[in-house]
Amino acid sequence: MNETLKVSGARKATLIIFLVCGIGLSSWAPMVPFAKLRLGLSEADLGLVLLSLGAGAIVTMPVTGMLINKYGSRNIALIAAMIIALLLPLLLLANSSYQLAAALFVFGAGIGSIDVAMNAQAVLVQEKHGSHIMSSFHGMFSLGGLIGSIGLGFLIKAGLSPTVAAVSISGLLIIFTTTQFKHLLPHSEEATMDSTSLVLPKGPVFFLGVMCFIVFLAEGSLLDWSAVFLQFSRDFDPSWSGVGYASFSVAMAVMRLTGDGIIHKLGPGKVVLYGTLLAGSGFLIAVLLPWGPAALIGFVLVGFGAANIVPVFFTAAGRIPNIPPSIALSGVTILGYSGQLAGPALIGFIAELTSLSIALGFVGILLFLVAFTYRHRE
């Protein structure tokens, strides 16, 4: 009975940590247009600055896997959450593109670390729970995406300055993390290996990582560019430009909170195939139909389609034989976050040469490629 209660408490605490990550990351989405206008950045310049977020995550992830292997995912999740909470308001205080890039790098390091830590904890909890519950964890991340993207914009609309709004969200993140930390499963229950060296992704880890690269690029493109697209290409009010990422996050949350049953019924292969086809179609609808509501419908379809792909990939990574979940997950997330590293700059450069609509449409084509490749692999 005590073991059952412990696992139940760890599951609830892990859900909250996923929520913290979602709120922290998505709160940046409505800040992007403010930063672009405040610093006078072009799309290409903004793309280069946004590289820093992904760079911070990628540089940190290999080290995070080793630190989790040594100190446990619970401790790393706590430290990473504090970094995210403290850095969030500083993103609005940068006086130059260099300062913003530096702040985004540290912010990205926190995001990358908590991503690996919370997924390692989730794999452990899922193993002890005895059934597929990974999608529910990622559903809380998506719910956090809704709270962060809409919440910050709502606070600004209510009269708070952007900085005060960001500080308020930071306080919420600290409260959530410190109250749930003790319920996470300790390091003594995690699989480890006697190694302090980096393990390069190869074999199934590499394949899953490449697939994650494209899916993360798709998700990251909406985080970094949906508000800019709606404000400058679809004439949305700046305070409501975050509604695009919020719509995407709502769709993802709904699908992920019901995703465990969907994966059990259809199987992981069909979930990936149908999901990438639907998400790719969503991008094309958003950019080809020149109306604001059509863009929102497209973002919703992206959310529906992409929702359960990453949980499938992460579950598979956590079950690779002879590799601790923390190490396998760090390899997959390194490649996955490379999509978020390359994505903002790639989209920015394509938008500079053509248009933002063409750049986002290109992401949709890449998702179709995932559908074909994963089906062939299966």
Q: How far is it, in rounded angstroms, from Cα 61 to Cα 112?
A: 6
Q: Residue 113: which pLDDT band, with cuts at 50, 70 and 90?
A: very high
Question: What is the rounded average pLDDT of the residues 311-328?
Answer: 80
Q: How far is it, in rounded angstroms, from Cα 145 to Cα 148?
A: 5
* Token output for 266: 């259809």
Instruction: Decide if pLDDT at 323 tops 80.
Output: no
pLDDT at site 315: 84
Nearest of 27, 365, 60, 43 to residue 217 by alpha carbon: 365
* Token output for 25: 């990351």
Residue 194 lies in a domain: no
Helix axes 356-377, 325-353, angle to 10 degrees: 140
Cβ-contact 22, 145 below 8 angstroms: yes
Residue 193 lies in a domain: no
pLDDT at site 198: 54
CATH classification of the domain holding 268:
1.20.1250.20
Residue 34 lies in a domain: yes
Going 176 to 180 to 182 to 184, the CA torsion angle's sign is negative
- What Cα–Cα distance (Å) separates residue 262 from each residue in 45, 218, 247, 269, 288? 41, 22, 21, 12, 30
Cβ-contact 345, 257 below 8 angstroms: no
* Token output for 302: 């992206």
Instruction: Decide if pLDDT at 145 tops 90.
Output: no
Residue 46 lies in a domain: yes
Question: What is the rounded average pLDDT of the residues 336-348?
Answer: 76
Instruction: Decide if pLDDT at 238 tops 60.
Output: yes
Tell me the pLDDT of the chain averaged across its residues.
86
Residue 99 lies in a domain: yes
Residue 15 lies in a domain: yes
Residue 192 lies in a domain: no
Q: Residue 41: which pLDDT band, with cuts at 50, 70 and 90?
A: confident
Q: How far is it, in rounded angstroms, from Cα 260 to Cα 350?
A: 37
* Other beta carbons less than 10 A from residue 19's beta carbon: 26
Cβ-contact 312, 271 below 8 angstroms: yes
Q: How far is it, in rounded angstroms, from Cα 238 to Cα 229?
A: 11
pLDDT at site 114: 95
Instruction: Decide if pLDDT at 104 tops 90.
Output: yes
Nearest of 169, 175, 190 to residue 76 by alpha carbon: 190
CA atoms within 13 A on the CB side of 233: 25
pLDDT at site 367: 96
pLDDT at site 1: 47
Cβ-contact 302, 222 below 8 angstroms: yes
Nearest of 325, 378, 55 to residue 211 by alpha carbon: 378
Task: Provide the 8-state DSSP code for 95.
Answer: S
**DSSP string covering 164-184, please?**
HHHHHHHHHHHHHHHHHGGGS
Show the 3-state SS of 243-264: HHHHHHHHHHHHHHHCHHHHHH
Residue 191 lies in a domain: no
Q: How far is it, in rounded angstroms, from Cα 191 to Cα 117?
A: 13
pLDDT at site 363: 94
Question: What is the rounded average pLDDT of the residues 264-276?
Answer: 91
Cβ-contact 132, 314 below 8 angstroms: no
Range of the domain at 136: 2-185+200-377
The amino acid at residue 162 is P
Please give the model's pTM, rounded to 2 decimal places: 0.75
Q: How far is it, in rounded angstroms, from Cα 128 to Cα 279?
A: 32
Instruction: Decide if pLDDT at 336 tops 70.
Output: yes
Tokens 């190869």 -> residue: 202
The burial of 350, by beta-carbon neighbours within 10 Å (0-12 exposed, 13-18 middle, 19 or more buried), is given as buried
Cβ-contact 232, 356 below 8 angstroms: yes
